[in-house]
Amino acid sequence: MSSTASTPIVELHNVKKVYQQGNVEVHALRGLCLTVNQGEFVAISGPSGSGKTTTLNLIGALDRPTSGQVKLEGRDLSELGAGELSRLRRDRIGFVFQAYNLMPVLTAYENAEIVLALQGMAPAARRERVMALLGDVGLKGLEGRRPDELSGGQQQRVAIARAIAADPAVVLADEPTANVDSETAEMLLSLMEKLNRERGATFIFSTHDPRVIQWARRSVRVVDGRVQSDKGK
């Protein structure tokens, strides 16, 4: 990974985000600047309302900045149309949500496979990749179970497999340990660190959890919509 560690994957330049709530303007980001390089394992932390989830939403092309520039793999997201952004989210960004966001009627295998199916990958190739991924995340033998037949930790493992199935440029994880117990949280963080190390997947976390910050190799603290500190380990 050392050969690719200086390649920027995500760049935010003087990004501002203002939400209108009735007659009140809420300044979620106030000129935030951040660069994340390929292969990093980064935690963005800060108090509630600091702007960390807004930052993830902008990187994930789920929202647009009021001003400033957001780039993914050198592409300015503000220059892309709705269709291009949709394909970018499908092909280059993996999402791991606090609430898992699995399809309840689909099995673990089908949930992990869905992005590859949308991309048009051949069924045999999909099966080979998904079965390998489910094995990597410790779900071998559980591929036929639906989300309501899995524990919270197992559901989050499916979500992680789904997030990395298409080899995205970056995996965005919004409070991924919030709904699991301490032991499961440690297992999930160990798993994501292993995927980062062995597969070179870039991870960016939004978190309140000190365990996530401890596992991260870089900790970015955001306060009042700006980067307050940025420390590597």
Q: Answer yes or no: is 91 within a domain.
A: yes
Number of folded domains that form the chain: 1
Non-local CB neighbours of 124 within 8 Å, separated by 6+ positions: none
Provide the pLDDT for residue 3: 41
User: Is residue 115 assigned to a domain?
Assistant: yes
Q: Is residue 10 part of a domain?
A: no
Radius of gyration of the chain (CA): 17
Whole-number pLDDT of residue 102: 93
Instruction: Indicate the SS3 state at residue 181.
Output: coil
Tell me the pLDDT tens digit for each residue of 95-138.
Answer: 998 888 999 999 999 999 999 999 999 999 999 999 999 998 88
pLDDT for residue 187: 87
Provide the mean pLDDT of the chain. Answer: 92
40 close to 60: Cβ distance less than 8 angstroms: no
Tens-digit pLDDT profile for residues 140-199: 999 999 999 999 899 999 999 999 998 899 999 998 888 888 888 888 899 899 889 988
Q: CB burial class (10 A; 0-12, 13-18, 19+) of residue 13?
A: middle
Alpha-carbon distance values, 82 to 35, 44, 96, 120, 146 (Å): 24, 27, 22, 20, 32
The token pair that represents 68 in the structure block: 């400033």
Query: Is 13 within the bounds of a domain?
Result: no
pLDDT digits (tens, 9 = 90+) for 59-80: 999 999 999 999 999 999 999 9
CB-based contacts of 53, cutoff 8 Å, min separation 6: 174, 206
Residue 2's pLDDT band, with cuts at 50, 70 and 90, is very low
7 occurs within a structural domain: no
pLDDT score of 147: 95
The pLDDT of residue 230: 96
Res 57 pLDDT > 80: yes
- pLDDT of the residue at 178: 84
9 or 184, greater pLDDT: 9
**Which range marks the domain in which residue 119 is found?**
39-65+81-232
Cα 220 to Cα 226: distance, rounded to the nearest angstrom = 10
Rounded Cα gap, residues 147 and 81, in angstroms: 34
Cβ count near 134 (within 10 Å): 22
Q: How far apart are CA 28 and CA 54, in angstroms?
A: 7
Alpha-carbon gap, residue 138 to 134, rounded angstroms: 6
pLDDT of residue 227: 96
Q: What pLDDT, on a 0 to 100 scale, did the predictor assign at position 1?
A: 38
Q: Is residue 208 part of a domain?
A: yes
Let me know if residue 14 belongs to a domain.
no
| CATH number of domain containing 60 | 3.40.50.300
Which run of H or of E encompasses 100? none
User: Is there a domain that residue 74 lies in?
Assistant: no
Q: Is the dihedral of CA 124, 125, 128, 129 positive or negative?
A: negative
Q: Is residue 21 predicted with pLDDT exceeding 80?
A: yes
pTM across the whole model: 0.90
Q: How far apart are CA 210 and CA 55, in angstroms?
A: 19
Average pLDDT over residues 25-39: 95
